[in-house]
Each structure stands twice: as structure tokens, then as C-alpha cells.
Structure 1
């Protein structure tokens, strides 16, 4: 039986790295792409390739190398992404565009590059790593949330278009994770503040939300890698995959009861603001 081939972007750390290891353990041929390619553990089954999803030449080279070596790509996992956090008023449009180039347009271009092969195979899956942030929202995350919402609408539309060819486009929506994502996002928020910004108190409040122990248990990278794998092999794949009931519940509340969601969010921010004042 021919081994299946998976291409994973953002494979140098976190859930992308965990997914690369898991698929390799399951007997797949893995091609991991990342800018920090040296952090991908290359082996007989994991092939590390340089990839910058914001660069068209890099995307073409990534897919062409895989097809030249294997002649097939069975699953593409669009995992590369980050959070360009900060106030809407303060974030430069250049940074906002980079957020979209990384989180959205990179996935779009890679999908366009693999689809001719998948259609010819009459099989394949494009697994797009969104977030519950594609449906919920928090202050300072406007451009991140916008990219994930765009990714979801795009994926759903793509799925309808390609299903007749035996190919599927699927969304995975992680919630809280045990990773450095929050630290990086808040570091970006601080960098994006203009001198004397009116939004510094808000950044302090949101930082408190990330730092607070609110009783939520974040998923590990390994948990999410298992979810990636399930989405890749399910005979009847779902439109959406969630890691936990709590993640699904948050999305449901935000979409079905927006007033309750907003009131809860504002209450939490108010609590964080009072804590911040007491520390001063």
C-alpha cells in the first residue's frame, strides 16, 4: 500500500511540530514547512523544508518539492499563523496586511497549488487551522479574529466547490492551548502601542486575562495533533472539529447569544482592571 503524504505548515513548534511527529509515527510521509526549518526534526519520515507562507515563490517551491519527490499530496494542513495583537487604531496597516498574508492568503495560495493534484487523485483533504477566535472576539485581536473568520468562510465555500472531486476542506477550531501563543500576542500588543496611547489601560486588562487562572485547562499541542489526525482520516469528515466541549460552547454562546457573550467579556475585563489597580 502506498504511504500517504501530508504537508504541514508551521511545523517548527507547537501543534504543527506535534502533528508532524504524530503523522510520522502513524506511518505517513511528512513534509514540514517553516521559516525556522532547523527546528523541524528531520528524519527518514519527516522532511524539513524552508517555507515562508507570505512569499509566493516559497509556497510554489514547497509544493513543487513534495510533488517531485512523492507525486502526490493527500493532506495539506494549513497551520502557520500568529496573532498581530493591539488596538485597531494603533496597529499599522502594514502589520495588519502581514497578519492576513500569514493567516489567510498563505493558506489560500497553498490550497490553489495542491488542488490540481488532489482533483486528479480524486481524493485529498485541506485542513485549515482556525480558532474559536474565528467566532468569538476579544479586545486587541481584531485583525487576528478577522483572519480566522475569513479562513472559515473561505473554507466552507471551498468545501462545496471541491467535494464533487472527492476532496474536502475542513476547519479545526482550537481554544485555549498550553503554548506561548498568548505571550507572543501580548508582546505584539505592547509593540503595536503608539507612544502615549490611550489604549494602554486596555492592554493591561487584556494581559490580565491571559495571565489569570480562570479554571480553564488548555489543550496540549499533542491533544491538537490528535485532532488534526482525526480530521485527516475520518471516513466522513466533519465541517468543524473542536478539541473540547467548552470550546464548542464558547462559539455557540458568541454566535447565538451575543449580548450574553459581550456582557461576560466586559465583566471579566472590569475584574482584570480592578486587579491591575490594586497592584499599583
Structure 2
């Protein structure tokens, strides 16, 4: 049966930004399906249901999208919010750990988009909102793999948007800055720490803790994501939060030497 209400699928909706997005889309009149690795622990409400989803599994992605289409007969919006971070010097992480981050943050989005695009294209309409980061625009020492994943997401999203726009589908990016969530608790971290990076590691931990403590409320980011969903003339990129807005402007207009110096200053690295 096809519902008359628009339907949104939000990955990583069990907490933080994803949870706030799901609730606000329900308020905006959407039937929302949120996802989690273990949806049995979550309680839905009017307009909000949950389904199991592991974005690193082809079969899980296919099953989740088929569930939505089978239940509602349509899918208007996909919000790719699920993701994981990484912390540690680049040479401290194993290739397997790097692959895990890429598999979730990049290939997880690729899987989701490949699963929903045939339906959206056939209907001649659809909106995909990929939650990136200001790390998709700038470097961040001790988060190289995470940063690489977000840079890749930016390029992939922008490229696919050009492919599908003539079919009534838009792919847009939301770029949050530091946000007060449990993000840092789920980071991939190295098992073996190299003494050469001991001082940088301590400094990074302090910088990260300060940025999370002073970060934006998840509600702030969620409001931007919902705006990106609802915008009748969507932009390609939506910075979310004060820091993200400032960094976006700085990246575009600051001379390379000035920008490089600022990155080292923020991260308390030797000049």
C-alpha cells in the first residue's frame, strides 16, 4: 500500500543527530523509518518506526530499503547519517582499521544510494542528504582516515548529484562542525601507540575534548538537515553551526599559507 505521506529513511537514528532529525521530520509530516544496528532496543512512536541496518552489509542495506518500500510503497528522502570516527596518527592505525572507517562512512553511503536511487529515479523525484563534516573541507591531524572518508563523500555526492538531477533527484551535503554527541566514544583507535606521537596525541585529546564540550547541540545540526530535506531550491552544501560556517568561508577565501598556519595553531602544533 502506498501512503500519501512522504516517507524518509534516516540511518543512525538511535541517538544524537540522527534521532533529532527523525523526530523533526515526523513533526514536518513525514513517515520516518529510523535505523540502528539493533533496532529492538528502540521504541517508535506515531510516524516513527525503526529497522535493523548495518550499512557495511550489502544484504542488510537491501533488506532495510525493501522493508520501507514494502511497508509504504514509496521513499522520498534518504538521510545518510550513520558514521564512525577515527583517532590516532596515520601510521598507528592498521589498514584493516582504515578499511572499517571507509566501509562505513563512504561505502555505507554508496550502498544506501545505490539501493534507493532506482526507486527515486523511476518516480522522478527524491532527496538524498549526506551528512558530511567540516572535515570534508579541511585537514585534521590524528583523524586522517575519518577526514579522508568525508573528503571522499563530498566528491561522490557532488558527482552523483550531477548525474541524477535531470531525473528529479537531488543529492546534497550537510557539514556539521564539532557537535556535543557521543561521537568520540565510538572512534576507531590504534591498539599500538608510537612514542613519536605521544605529545601530539595528548594535545589532540585536549583539543577534541574542548571542541566536543563547546560543540553545537545536535538539534542545531538536525534543523539544518531538515531544512536541506525541505528546501525547494536545494543548495549543494549546508554548513551546520557557527564553527562550520566560519571554517567553510575560511577554506574558500584564505590564502593557502594562512590557512595552513591556522590549522597548526588550532591543533597546537609546532610552526
Scaled by the length of structure 1, what TM-score is found?
0.89
1:193 and 1:200 in contact (8 A); partners too:
no
Deviation per residue, 1:115-173 (Å, 9 max, x gap)? 11101111101110000000111111111011101111100110100000010000000
The CA distance in 2 between the partners of 1:205 and 1:93, in whole Å, is 24
Give 1:267's aligned residue: 265
Point out the more displaced range, 218-227 or 9-18.
218-227
Matches of residues 112-261 of structure 1 in structure 2 within 5 Å? 112-185=114-187, 188-189=188-189, 192-212=190-210, 217-256=214-253, 257-261=255-259
Shift of the 269–151 alpha-carbon distance from structure 1 to 2, 3 Å rule, reads closer
1:87 and 1:193 in contact (8 A); partners too:
no
1:8 and 1:16 in contact (8 A); partners too:
yes
The CA distance in 1 between the partners of 2:34 and 2:28, in whole Å, is 15
The CA distance in 2 between the partners of 1:217 and 1:138, in whole Å, is 18
The CA distance in 1 between the partners of 2:36 and 2:211, in whole Å, is 32
Matches of residues 91-102 of structure 1 in structure 2 within 5 Å? 91-102=93-104
Deviation per residue, 1:37-82 (Å, 9 max, x gap)? 2454312311110000001110000000001111110000010001
The CA distance in 1 between the partners of 2:115 and 2:8, in whole Å, is 14
The CA distance in 2 between the partners of 1:268 and 1:69, in whole Å, is 49
Give 1:277's aligned residue: none
Shift of the 253–39 alpha-carbon distance from structure 1 to 2, 3 Å rule, reads farther
Question: C-alpha displacement at 1:85, in angstroms?
Answer: 1.6
Shift of the 81–213 alpha-carbon distance from structure 1 to 2, 3 Å rule, reads closer
1:128 and 1:172 in contact (8 A); partners too:
yes
Shift of the 195–127 alpha-carbon distance from structure 1 to 2, 3 Å rule, reads closer
The CA distance in 1 between the partners of 2:134 and 2:252, in whole Å, is 11
The CA distance in 1 between the partners of 2:168 and 2:177, in whole Å, is 29
The CA distance in 2 between the partners of 1:128 and 1:238, in whole Å, is 13
**Alignment length (residue pairs):** 267
2:20 and 2:218 in contact (8 A); partners too:
yes
2:11 and 2:34 in contact (8 A); partners too:
yes
Give 1:28's aligned residue: 30
Structure 1 stretches of 5 or more lacking a match?
A: 274-280
Runs of 4+ in 1 over 4 A off after TM superposition: none
1:85 and 1:140 in contact (8 A); partners too:
yes
The CA distance in 1 between the partners of 2:241 and 2:211, in whole Å, is 18
The CA distance in 2 between the partners of 1:232 and 1:143, in whole Å, is 28
Shift of the 213–90 alpha-carbon distance from structure 1 to 2, 3 Å rule, reads closer
C-alpha RMSD of the superposition: 2.0
The CA distance in 2 between the partners of 1:146 and 1:250, in whole Å, is 17
Secondary structure, aligned partner of 2:268 = helix
